[in-house]
Structure 1
Amino acid sequence: MSHVTTHVLDSGTGRPAAGVAVSLRGPDGGEIASAATDADGRIGDLGPDRLPAGTASLRFDTGAYFAARGQETFYPEVVVAFRIDEEQGHLHVPLLLSPFAYSTYRGS
């Protein structure tokens, strides 16, 4: 399993957000991996088994997701920065999304 996974839910529709492009950037700012959410809104294989300690981020292409549905959105992208400690195991970073709001939390 990847060190980092994500799950995107469209709270406006109450359904998983399929087809959201996501990129993972490591502590040095370079892109490590990219993928799109599956039909269940999940990406279970995003990057390596381990990442170095530091601040990493996930970039969600929310603009393209909403444009494909013919919806306006205030947020063309969402970037979630998070800290990786040396001892941390798996990190799950979900995103709850609507056209004019979003929230995130540390999942398990």
Structure 2
Amino acid sequence: MNAGISIHVVDVATGKVAEGLAIRVERLKEASRELICTGRIAANGLFVELTDHSPMFEPGQYEVCLDVADFYRAQGQQLPRVPFLDVLVYRFGLDDTQQHYHLPFKLTAWGLSCFRGGA
């Protein structure tokens, strides 16, 4: 597996990948943010837009932002006016950019599980 980051998202409430979920990845800098890429989860559950950006990753702090409420509303799920999870922000750090960091998100409208895979 190549160095860099990969992201996979599964809607565990339905047992299907979260195809169409909007997502973005940003690098946090001292006083600013840098957008790495934005896109949607593909039919295979992967955030394929991220593949072309692996050379951009350097040690530091990053955030993955998932538009959870918009995704579930688009699926026809009734959510409260103020959803429990709206835009979910997941902050993580990269130390060794020669390694692969896989982020497998397991998601519902009410919760999330993620861990570092791909080591």
**TM-score of the two chains, using structure 1 as the length reference:** 0.88
Structure 2, unpaired ranges of 5+: none
Runs of 4+ in structure 1 over 2 Å off: 47-50
Larger radius of gyration: 2
Aligned mate of 2:95, from 67, 85, 102: 85
CA contact (8 A) 1:58 1:79 kept: yes
CA contact (8 A) 1:27 1:53 kept: no
Matches within 5 A, 1:1-108: 3-28=4-29, 29-46=33-50, 47-71=53-77, 72=79, 73-108=83-118
CA distance in 2, matches of 1:86, 1:9: 26
Structure 1, unpaired ranges of 5+: none
Give the Å deviation of 1:2: 7.2
RMSD: 1.8
CA distance in 2, matches of 1:102, 1:83: 18
Give the Å deviation of 1:86: 3.7
Instruction: State the Cα deviation string for residues 3-47 of structure 1 (Å, max 9, x = none).
Output: 211000001001111001110101322211112111121113412
CA contact (8 A) 2:25 2:35 kept: yes
| Alpha-carbon spacing, 1:16–1:51, altered in 2? closer, same or farther (3 Å) | same
Higher helix share: 2
